[in-house]
């Protein structure tokens, strides 16, 4: 390994043996065409984008993900979700600077409590429940 790579590992909060070390890619690639896949909004489901710093150690965002999924799980069959990198061009263009959830490209939630509280109403508004 190069010296820079060793420094990154030494300074991270995880060890080489854990899966959170290394870079994470937020864009999906279609291997047959080597092109990025654009996920469109599904009108029959509630579309949820979860923004976390995927290029950071998982210890930075795993608790947030656990809390968000505890809110989403009771209604998961009505939800289409995607995890996106907080440190991406897309997040910067949406002016997102902290871990959050965006529902149907409009409503922003920074806590699982608020999401859990509003989720049944959001599903009713969309005519899913």
Contact 61, 85 (CB under 8 A): no
Residue 90 within any structural domain of the chain = yes
Residue 66 within any structural domain of the chain = yes
Residue 12 within any structural domain of the chain = no
Range of the domain at 110: 35-125
Residue-averaged pLDDT of the chain: 78
pLDDT in tens, 14-58: 544 344 444 444 343 333 343 444 456 778 899 999 999 999 999
CB-based burial label for 115 (10 Å; 0-12, 13-18, 19+)? buried
CB-based burial label for 52 (10 Å; 0-12, 13-18, 19+)? buried
Residue 11 within any structural domain of the chain = no
What is the distance between the alpha carbons of residues 100 and 66, in angstroms, rounded to a whole number?
A: 13
pTM: 0.70
Residue 113 within any structural domain of the chain = yes
The CATH number given to whatever domain includes residue 86 is 3.40.30.10
Residue 28 within any structural domain of the chain = no
Residue 70 within any structural domain of the chain = yes
Residue 108 within any structural domain of the chain = yes
Contact 45, 82 (CB under 8 A): no
What is the distance between the alpha carbons of residues 5 and 26, in angstroms, rounded to a whole number?
A: 21
Q: Is 80 exceeded by the pLDDT of residue 103?
A: yes
Q: Distance between alpha carbon 43 and the CA centroid of its chain, in Å?
A: 20
Give the total number of structural domains in the chain: 1
Q: Is 50 exceeded by the pLDDT of residue 5?
A: no
């Amino acid at each position: 390994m190069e010296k820079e790579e060793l420094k990154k590992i030494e300074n991270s909060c995880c060890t080489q043996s854990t899966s959170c070390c290394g870079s994470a890619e937020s864009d999906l690639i279609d291997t047959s065409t080597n092109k990025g896949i654009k996920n469109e909004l599904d009108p029959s489901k509630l579309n949820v984008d979860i923004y976390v710093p995927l290029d950071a150690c998982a210890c930075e965002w795993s608790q947030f993900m656990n809390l968000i999924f505890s809110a989403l799980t009771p209604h998961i069959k009505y939800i289409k979700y995607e995890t996106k990198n907080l440190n991406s061009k897309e997040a910067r263009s949406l002016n997102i600077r902290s871990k959050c959830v965006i529902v149907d490209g409009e409503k922003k939630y920074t806590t699982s409590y608020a999401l859990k509280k509003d989720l049944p109403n959001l599903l009713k508004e969309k005519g899913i429940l």
